[in-house]
Amino acid sequence: MASILFVEKYKNQRLLFEQEFSQEGYDVTITSDGKDASDKVKTRPPDIIVMDVCILNISGVEAMSRILKKLKSIPLIIYTAYDSYKDVCRIWGADAYLVKSSDLTELTNKIEELLSKAVNPV
């Protein structure tokens, strides 16, 4: 199954992602730190990245910029409680921008959609 890197500041949210998506069969890696995320992508590139804009060490926008400079082919979803970063994240290259919800259905659907496109480009 596909691998997902979740970059999320809050531990309870990281644990939720790990539990939910591991049960779905994904290989899940989690971190709270933008620099660590950038390092993880270098050593073991995931199939997709889900990242908040408010993370530790460096901002999500900076981490996204660093990651996409190295590996533009990895789909990246910004998943945040803030709707004000949408335009900036699109300009920097995010494939999707979702506002957090207690229901992970929208996130799950977007992950599946982007992974499908990555495997079967149009």
What local confidence, expressed as pLDDT, does residue 122 receive? 42
Q: Which of 23-27, 60-64, 101-105 has the lowest mean pLDDT?
A: 60-64
- Percent of the chain surpassing pLDDT 70: 74
pTM: predicted TM-score of the whole model, two decimal places: 0.85
Instruction: Quote the number of domains for the chain.
Output: 1
**Interval 9-32: pLDDT, tens:** 899 999 999 999 999 999 999 988
What percent of the chain is modeled with pLDDT above 90?
Answer: 38
pLDDT of residue 27: 96
- Is the four-CA dihedral 117, 45, 66, 76 of positive or negative sign? positive
* For residues 104-110, average pLDDT: 94
Q: Can you tell me the distance from the alpha carbon of 17 to that of 44, in angstroms, rounded to the nearest whole number?
A: 19
Q: Mean pLDDT for the chain?
A: 82
Cα(first)–Cα(last) distance of the chain, in Å?
Answer: 21
Range of the domain at 114: 3-119
Distance between CA atoms of residues 57 and 33, nearest Å: 6
Q: In the predicted model, is pLDDT for residue 59 greater than 90?
A: no
Residue 10 belongs to domain with CATH number: 3.40.50.2300
Bridge partner residues of 3 (DSSP)? 27
